[in-house]
Amino acid sequence: SISVDPAGEGPAIDDSMYGVFYEDINHAADGGLYAELVQNRSFEYDPADNRAYTPLTAWQETASGAASGTARVMDDDGRLNERNRRYLRLDLDGGDGRFGVANSGYNAGIAVRAGRTYDFSVWARTDRPAGTPLGVELRDGTTPLGTALRVTARGDRWTKYTGTLTARTSSDAGRLAVTAGGSGTVRLDMVSLFPRDTYKGRPNGLREDLAEKIAALQPGFLRFPGGCLVNTGSHEAYEAPDFERKRSYQWKDTIGPVEQRPVNANFWGYNQTYGLGYYEYFQYAEDIGAMALPVVPALVTGCGQNRATDDPELLRRHIQDTLDLIEFANGPVTSTWGRKRARMGHPRPFGLTHLEVGNEENLPDQFFARFTEFREAIEAKHPDITVISNSGPDDSGATFDRAWQLNRDAKVAMVDEHYYNSPQWFLENNERYDAYDRQGPKVFLGEYASLDNRFSNALAEAAYMTGLERNADVVKLASYAPLLADTNDAQWRPNMIWFDNATSWGSASYETQKLFMNNVGDEVVPSRASGTPAASGPVTGAVGLSTWATAAAYDDVSVTSADGANLFADDFSGDDSRWTRAAGTGSWSVRDGAYVQSDAAAENTLVTAGDPTWHDYDLKLKATKQSG
């Protein structure tokens, strides 16, 4: 039975308590929420992003009639600009017909829908005085999916050309072909195709179904842009020509005209265009009524790459960048960075109130020293901004305790906690925050999930969230993680919303989150339950056993439980077909294509299909016992 004390006093619940954490993992941005349909639009893909990439990834030559030519990616002083270094050079042999390239988009092909309109654009230049006629067409194989668009590139200076395509026929294997007739040389860059109906019709906008699913949650806040994405890699700035391709996420790289944004290697094993950048994140947060909550790197590299950068000048620059970020978000149009925001289309300030420094640093003392410098500089100039710290990657333990001690002693306003645990853990830890110090820092539960995407996970999370809510005076913000995942290339699971090129669907956990976010109460009404049945075994059976296995070669990995059965192995690839389980023995082997974490190199590695090289790894395979 449940007794409720309507007159009793419980903590107030902030409207912003439940929100979302957005990170470009699992192709959440490029190939996901960012509606660009052309993959590798500026020919910047590189083996440094992913060893299977070439500058022509996703592109194929195409020719019709007697036309022929060569298609080469160039990196020379004919480039579009210093931050967009490569371009495609087509040398045309002048035969009757057309020669060019076709892009396959992400995964199996562009999902083209009959009746929909698509906005095409390209930067081009030609050495042919009469101009070069370009043909732009959506097709599946040799079958056109609509009427081709014709534009003529004129002049040997980079110029942007635009046009629209309307599909007559649907296909999930669409290609965007750009071909040229005649002779001479034509250069192309930033070949782009967006559906006309992006979220709220914004140019350079967001994929509608995904943006709407997130909006339907009515999130109180939007934490972005990561996660491990933020604080891994080099903290140096982009510098042409020999730029570092594994830089931490630095917001200044991600604003301004898209063709002037440099690319970067994404920590999760692919290229990130930064087409979806800080301006777009702020705009989206505003569009869905969520408080924007950006995360900046604290110059202590996390996520298994535990390293503290010891360079006062670099630290000073990052702190200044963070102050500039606040000006970009909140400054008047007369300020340097407020003017840039206005030029991008948003003269009104975005109204930033919270900002997080760092993510999951495993070196609490080194992190806190740097965090303190950020915090002091921000609070000196913007005392109204809440500067959020964190407690490392674990839910408990020495690092966690040390981080909390430092944060508590320094009277930090809010501390971010992250944990991914079994459903059983969530059921057993409902009272976690009952004991938290009411005088200490508030909690931002920035990342959590129970480890699977079953109904029982959603139920365990819902049960846990009642504990968060009961402690709404301490837990001020909470977000499930990760938010989005492409079924074709997921580096992490479980996830809240899954998608492929054509469609998307919420997991059971999505429904839990929606239920809580759509029904945020004003205050907690004290209640007591009695006579509740004692827990009798696990909800999904996920208990206790968690182990790591190692093997010398990635095709020779097995995980075996003590009793030889009932193990669950997850390669975080989102594709269980990459694992085989020997019947009845409880052991697995990894096939080409699995996502592995390499302990030795201390970095994540994607073993891609078709990679002919043999690699040695220490594989970490997490196994969770299913029952018993």
Write out the catalytic residue numbers: 360
Residue placing its CB nearer to ligand AHR in the complex, 105 or 446: 446
**In the beta sheet, which residues pair with residue 88?**
73, 188
* Shortest CB 293 distance to ligand AHR, Å: 14
Least distance (Å) between residue 230 CB and ligand AHR: 8
Residue showing tokens 């668009």: 149
Residue among 119 and 486 whose Cβ is closer to ligand AHR = 486
Q: Are 559 and 569 in contact (CB under 8 A)?
A: yes
Q: How far apart are CA 113 and CA 118, in angstroms?
A: 10
Stretch that binds ligand AHR, among 222-230, 241-249, 330-338, 608-616 (CB under 6 A): 222-230
Q: Does 478 bind ligand AHR (CB under 6 A)?
A: no
Residues sharing a CB contact under 8 Å with residue 127, sequence separation 6 or more, in sequence order: 156, 184, 185, 186
Binding piece for ligand AHR, criterion CB under 6 A, among 115-123, 223-231, 236-244, 502-510: 223-231
Q: Which of residues 279-308 bind ligand AHR (CB under 6 A)?
A: 303
What are the C-alpha distances in Å from 454 to residues 434, 445, 478, 540? Answer: 28, 22, 21, 8
**Residue 418 CB, nearest distance to ligand AHR (Å)?**
6
User: Which residue's Cβ has the minimum distance to ligand AHR?
Assistant: 227
| Cα distance between residue 293 and residue 388, in whole Å | 10
Count residues contacting ligand AHR (CB under 6 A)? 14
Q: How many CB atoms lie within 10 A of CB 179?
A: 24
- Binder among 492, 516, 554, 579 for ligand AHR (CB under 6 A): 492
* Contact call for residue 482 and ligand AHR (CB under 6 A): yes
Q: How far is the CB of 492 from ligand AHR (least distance, A)?
A: 5
Place of tokens 């995360």: 295
Stretch of residues binding ligand AHR (CB under 6 A), selected from 225-233, 305-313, 328-336, 503-511: 225-233
Contact 542, 423 (CB under 8 A): yes
Instruction: Establish if 270 lies at the interface with ligand AHR (CB under 6 A).
Output: no
Q: List the interface residues with ligand AHR, window 122-151 (CB under 6 A).
A: none
Which residue in 380, 378, 357 sits closest to 367, CA to CA?
A: 357
Does the protein bind ligand AHR through residue 417 (CB under 6 A)?
no
CB of residue 18 vs ligand AHR: minimum separation in angstroms? 17
Residues 358-387: x where in contact with ligand AHR by CB under 6 A, - otherwise, as a string: -xx---------------------------
Q: Name the one range near ligand AHR by CB under 6 A: 224-232, 282-290, 521-529, 591-599.
A: 224-232
Q: Quote the least distance from Cβ 6 to ligand AHR, whole Å.
A: 39
Sites for ligand AHR among residues 330-359 (CB under 6 A): 359
Which residue in 566, 545, 546, 548 sits closest to 557, CA to CA? 548
Q: Which residues contact 596 (CB under 8 A, 6 or more apart)?
A: 554, 571, 590, 605, 607, 617, 619, 620
Which of 186-194, 203-211, 220-228, 509-517 is the region at the interface with ligand AHR (rule: CB under 6 A)? 220-228
12-to-17, 354, 592 alpha-carbon distances in Å: 10, 20, 52
What's the CA dihedral at 280, 112, 50, 246 to 10 degrees? -10
Minimum CB–partner distance for residue 89 and ligand AHR (Å): 38
Min separation Cβ 448 and ligand AHR, Å: 9
Cα distances from 320 to residues 101, 135, 232, 260, in angstroms, run: 43, 47, 19, 22
Angstrom distance (rounded) from CA 417 to CA 395: 7
Contact 182/176 with Cβ under 8 angstroms? no
Nearer to ligand AHR among residue 350 and residue 498 (C-beta): 498
Closest CB 485 distance from ligand AHR, rounded Å? 10
Regarding 227 and contact with ligand AHR (CB under 6 A), the answer is: yes
Indicate the residue among 20 and 288 with the shorter CB distance to ligand AHR. Answer: 20
What is the 8-class DSSP label of residue 252? G
Please select the residue that binds ligand AHR; options are 175, 318, 340, 418, rule is CB under 6 A. 418
Q: Which residues, in sequence order, are CB contacts of 540 under 8 Å at separation 6+?
A: 422, 423, 452, 454, 456, 457, 460, 626
| Nearer CB in complex with ligand AHR: 23/137 | 23
Task: Judge whether 23 and 227 are in contact, CB under 8 Å.
Answer: yes
Query: Quick check: 178 and 188 in contact, CB under 8 A?
Result: yes
Query: 21 or 53, CB closer to ligand AHR?
Result: 21
Give the separation between CA 361 and CA 403, rounded to whole angstroms.
9
Burial 347-363 (b: 16+ CB within 10 A, else e): eebbebbbbbbbbbbbb
Q: Which pair of tokens denotes residue 517?
A: 């976010």
Give the nearest distance from C-beta 378 to ligand AHR in angstroms. Answer: 21
Interaction pattern, residues 434-453, with ligand AHR; x per rule: CB under 6 A: -------------x------
Cβ distance to ligand AHR smaller for residue 23 or 280: 23
The site for ligand AHR (CB under 6 A) is made up of 23, 25, 226-228, 303, 359-360, 393, 418, 447, 481-482, 492
